[in-house]
Chains A and B, each alone.
Chain A
């Protein structure tokens, strides 16, 4: 199929492109990008089908660096099929999925299984993340070389912080051989253990055990020191506190290979969302204070935080309609990440190219994905068409995800993805009636 995406505003943060252009797509690749008016003669265009994008944004396909697809093992929460359906509906053409499946993705057969399922789904591209330690137990190194060969793009024990500093150090040293970044879920379990929300005024009022900011920050500091020691690229997952932002800012100033992500809830919500014991506001790290929220926004603006990740964590209603202390941690985010990110643009906190970079250039750079996160001639045609001003209301009933655990139900948003294209195939379309 030959496509021409006509008249959109093209944003490619990697190459500082922000222009109105036509994009020509042929055999799953970008054939050409042409400034308007197009130099191509209309004659040669006759066999291209037009996708009208006037007044819309055309961006590199969005990449989610932090997703839980739950398969294998927790198919009642999400499968690779439903997870990638949610991804493309949210504008994502690629997702990196965490290793905390059952069995854990700590060996090549699990990695291969995930890739096979993703291929069958034929929606978003899936990049598996391998475990740092066998079984996420934090005791011995997983077979990292084998994982790399099978196709993992990074290593993480996400959800189970690596408590043993020596193991973390060795993992980082060992990962360097295989050119894999290490993604750290920073949490000192001895400080956070019984906590179910941020430690602060709200936890005191509600009588819930708190997780202090220090539980995150002491581990951010440890891992930055280990990054300095090993010089292996370190990516800090889901930054939630002002202190973490500052530690990362200083590490970057020193020139260390440290990158960081945050999730939309950390710049959109505060601990006050927990009042009334709303389990949809329970996640790890927990929602923090207004000051933390503002510091995360500032970190995004000044480049301290490179990536916005969904931390899409599907849970069944049975795991959320329970006592707050019993409820599972986490919320889904693939179908809300883009609108919440665009809200930072509408509020004047980020420019549009900055916001798009956090979902495209940033994650592609951290995961070293060539031909992803930008729009270049002969790259695979992964792209997202966005109406940044479309007003709509978030409705969990419309989610493709198998789970509905979102605190954003009912929120009035501005801006969403209208079309998602993966390797030249339209995998999500609310833009125009086209059949392939």
Chain B
């Protein structure tokens, strides 16, 4: 077993071997979700705190299901219920949580680096479930798992990530993970949404959507948020979908075995037409299924699942 970390803060720093260990573990744990009785005792007696300081339904549910399938006890804290609304600092809230001896804190936060701050301040494992525009490692890992399942390998594949790269933690984590796994990555989108010096992450920048689509093995579409319009990043959703949305027509120019991914939630009719989202190339729901498997794997690996099994 090639995994010896206390925290998972991002894809940055993970080796190819570590990523492979996570994916292989996820693959082996995935079948639990297809059993009649979807529960194993592996993490019995462990406490997982889901500390979500930003609204999230999908990721939080996925983490809760993952923890419960491994028999861990889970507690959820969201921005609305935590003391953060009463003016307590993040570090104080975390220290109070720590005093109740959880084994792992799964953390979602609207600000980049918040899990890094906590990892310096408290003892439990910190699992980053998305920090600001920085990283979303479990999303990248479930995407890598989906690609590996569908394509057999990741190395050498051409992956195009399209949309609001600048504001996307999904894009950052995927770029880092895909480059570590030796895929070729191209990004495309309105220049206002391509961050400066993105080339330093080892990616190509396509000048238009078509260029990014032709020859790609994997197309990852990103969610575009209406509020970006107020930041003067694009003129209107109508114009966005016309020039940067994925349509059935455009898809005809893609490889015949291309897969289409999206981290959700989808703005149907904006970044992709419904026909694309629900079409034969789409693996969007496989991503969601794999999300549970990847999160089970990470809880298991970070909590030293191996060891507790032997103790039992």
A interface, CB within 8 angstroms of B: 199-201, 203-210, 276-277, 318, 321-326
Cα distance, A201 to B117, chains bound together (Å): 21
- A204→B112 contact, CB < 8 A: no
List of B residues within 8 angstroms of A325 by Cβ: 111-113, 132
List of A residues within 8 angstroms of B121 by Cβ: 321
List of B residues within 8 angstroms of A204 by Cβ: 166, 195-198, 200-201
List of B residues within 8 angstroms of A323 by Cβ: 90, 109, 111-114, 117
A192, chain B: closest CB distance, angstroms: 14
Cα distance, A206 to B131, chains bound together (Å): 10
List of B residues within 8 angstroms of A324 by Cβ: 111-113, 117
Q: Write the chain B residue with the least CB distance to A200.
A: B197
**Interface status of B172 (Cβ within 8 A of chain A):** yes
Q: Write the chain A residue with the least CB distance to B171.
A: A207
- B116→A276 contact, CB < 8 A: yes
- B200→A321 contact, CB < 8 A: no
List of A residues within 8 angstroms of B133 by Cβ: 207-209
- B112→A210 contact, CB < 8 A: no
List of A residues within 8 angstroms of B169 by Cβ: 207
Cα distance, A276 to B12, chains bound together (Å): 11
| CB contact list, B149-201 vs A, under 8 A | 166, 169, 172, 195-198, 200-201
- B111→A210 contact, CB < 8 A: no
Q: Write the chain A residue with the least CB distance to B195.
A: A204
Cα distance, A351 to B196, chains bound together (Å): 37
Instruction: Tell whether A199 pairs with B114 under 8 Å between CB atoms, given A207-B134, A323-B109, A325-B132.
Output: no
**Interface status of B89 (Cβ within 8 A of chain A):** yes
**Interface status of B135 (Cβ within 8 A of chain A):** yes
List of B residues within 8 angstroms of A276 by Cβ: 116
- B135→A321 contact, CB < 8 A: no
- A205→B89 contact, CB < 8 A: no
Cα distance, A318 to B87, chains bound together (Å): 12
Q: Write the chain A residue with the least CB distance to B168.
A: A207
- A318→B112 contact, CB < 8 A: no
- A200→B196 contact, CB < 8 A: yes
- B197→A207 contact, CB < 8 A: no
Cα distance, A323 to B111, chains bound together (Å): 7
Q: Output the residue of A203, A204, A276 with the most chain B CB within 10 A.
A: A204
9 extra interface residue pairs, beta carbon distance < 8 Å, beyond A204-B198, A323-B112, A326-B111: A200-B196, A201-B196, A205-B201, A206-B113, A207-B132, A277-B113, A277-B116, A321-B89, A322-B90
Cα distance, A321 to B116, chains bound together (Å): 12
Q: Mark B105-148, 1 if CB is under 8 A from A, else 0.
A: 00001011110110001000000000111110000000000000
- A208→B116 contact, CB < 8 A: no
Cα distance, A3 to B8, chains bound together (Å): 63
**Interface status of B91 (Cβ within 8 A of chain A):** yes
19 contacts between A and B (CB under 8 A): A199-B196, A201-B196, A204-B195, A205-B200, A206-B113, A206-B134, A207-B132, A208-B112, A208-B132, A208-B133, A277-B116, A321-B89, A323-B109, A323-B111, A323-B117, A325-B112, A325-B113, A325-B132, A326-B111
Q: Write the chain A residue with the least CB distance to B114.
A: A323
Instruction: Tell whether A210 pairs with B196 under 8 Å between CB atoms, given A321-B91, A322-B89, A325-B132.
Output: yes
A405, chain B: closest CB distance, angstroms: 15
| CB contact list, B76-95 vs A, under 8 A | 89-91
Cα distance, A209 to B231, chains bound together (Å): 12
Q: Write the chain A residue with the least CB distance to B12.
A: A205
Cα distance, A222 to B117, chains bound together (Å): 39
Cα distance, A203 to B201, chains bound together (Å): 12
Cα distance, A359 to B126, chains bound together (Å): 46
List of B residues within 8 angstroms of A277 by Cβ: 112-113, 116-117
A199, chain B: closest CB distance, angstroms: 6
Cα distance, A324 to B110, chains bound together (Å): 11
List of A residues within 8 angstroms of B195 by Cβ: 203-204
Q: Mark B213-236, 1 if CB is under 8 A from A, else 0.
A: 000000000000000000000000
Q: Write the chain A residue with the least CB distance to B136.
A: A207
A350, chain B: closest CB distance, angstroms: 31
